Amino acid sequence: MADDTITNPDTNPDGAVQQPVEQPVEQPVEQPVEQAVEQIVEQAVQLPAPEAAPPEPSIAATLVIEPEPQSGEGGEWELLLGKLRQWLDQNELNNLWAQARKPVTILAGLVGLLLVVRVYSAVLGALDSLPLVPGLLELAGVVWAVRYGIPKLLRSSERERLLGGLSQSWKAFRGKA
């Protein structure tokens, strides 16, 4: 077992670890915290010499603004009106209307169509709420179909004439007549 041990040069024969002797370090005597803070504050707050300080600006008692030499009082309203007149004189309004004519027309058409559908829906709702009116309107539709529609659809010559008239009306409506 004595052969299996590894000797450490820092250990004594009895197994205690030897530590090197430290040299005494001279440490400065610590100042109280208050004195250290005061010293730091004094160093940070040292003011520059009076001759190096920039002069303080003086406060003006009155401020005088002279108006620019223009034909009028000026002001924001006059400036706005001047820019508006300049823009109108450049004829930009006509160019803007030419660019926006088609979308504005489409939008107006959609609003008109929406209005017509709403009014039509309101009229049908009012008629539907009256007693006997829906049944009478259905009966009127059946009578019309029997009286005028069937005789024109039975004969081929009448059918061709009816379809030709409908086609002509459709072309006139679309503007291709």
Answer whether 0.75 is exceeded by the pTM: no
Q: Give the CB-side neighbour count of residue 82, counting CA atoms within 13 A.
A: 10
How many whole angstroms separate alpha carbon 170 and alpha carbon 174?
6
Digit-coded pLDDT (tens) for 140-164: 999 998 888 787 778 888 888 888 9
Sequence spans of domains, the chain: 77-129, 132-177
Highest mean pLDDT among 17-31, 109-123, 145-159: 109-123
**pLDDT-derived band of residue 21, with 50, 70 and 90 as boundaries?**
low
Using one digit for the tens of pLDDT, what is the confidence trace for 60-86?
677 666 656 555 555 888 889 888 888
CA 6 to chain centre: 80
> What per-residue confidence (pLDDT) applies to 125?
92
